Amino acid sequence: MANLKPIDGDDNHAVIVEVGLRDGLQAIKKILTPEQRAELILSLIEAGIHHIEVGSFVSPKKVPQLSDTGIVAELIGIQEGIITSALIPNERGLYEALQTSIDEYAVFIGATDEFTLGNIGKTVQQALETYQEIIKIAFARGKKVRGYLSCIVRCPYSGAVSSIQVARLVDKLLEIGCYEVSLGETLGVATPADIEKVLHNLGNISLTKHVALHLHNTFGQALANILRGLDLGIRRFDAGVGGFGGCPFAPGSAGNLATEDLVYLLNGLGIKTGININALPQITRKISTLTGESAHSLVSKALENQLSCKSVFP
């Protein structure tokens, strides 16, 4: 597999990719201005988050909450030591992204044709063929590309998903040039046994170097699933501050695992992230105020009451 590079992580360090200002906002009815989104992103960077999704280049008619991502990127500017990323669904999205300062791109498919058709209007095979060409162009412009694979356990349209199918698609995304594949448990229905089955079936693919977990928390199992992933070698995770949102193409699914909940767990295990957990509740509260949506982070609720986390983690 070409163009694969290890992530920055070891047993005592984990990397969190912040997806709250993309995945978290896409299912919220209130549309934030580019200025509001940029201000929130800059606050997350100040809190110690070094890899952050700033939006996507999907059709604004389909996901109006993420329109004007190019303007958001311009308002953020180039931040030393920070990786900004955005979702790229097609060639048009790629050429829009190439006009911005965004550092890397993400392509995405579901583990089933039904979900992928509902999301981007292509079968899995058609999407992979499109992305192969997109990745070639991105590489020529010096851009890295990350892959997302959604519905790794269950599809909202076709039911249970084979872990063998998941493994095949992870291998294919790496083969066409993605440096890493983020495994999306989109419905939030998985238990640790499901996560273990998926990861074991990945075979010889390095879980430490080339696989991340992207978990939703519909049934409250996300942290338990994180623990199983840690046991099996995963050191890279997606999370969204406040736990807002959900997938608009997976009705009934809850938002991402909240970033502050994940950081609290990792802190307790002695795994470093470089993120200041005490700074996150204020950002969560700001998003709630702007959108009118309730946060789903228990840690933010607890820290808002205690004012700081020093009594727990000196």
DSSP 170-186: HHHHHHTT-S-EEEEET
Is-contact 111 152, C-beta < 8 A? yes
Q: What share of residues in the chain are helix, strand, coil (percent, to 5)? A: 40, 15, 40
Closest to 275 (Cα-Cα) out of 8, 20, 51 = 51
Catalytic residue check, 247: yes
Write down the catalytic residue from 151, 155, 178, 247: 247
Handedness of CA 30, 31, 36, 40 (dihedral sign): positive
Considering only CA atoms, give the Rg of the chain.
18
The residues assigned a catalytic role are 247
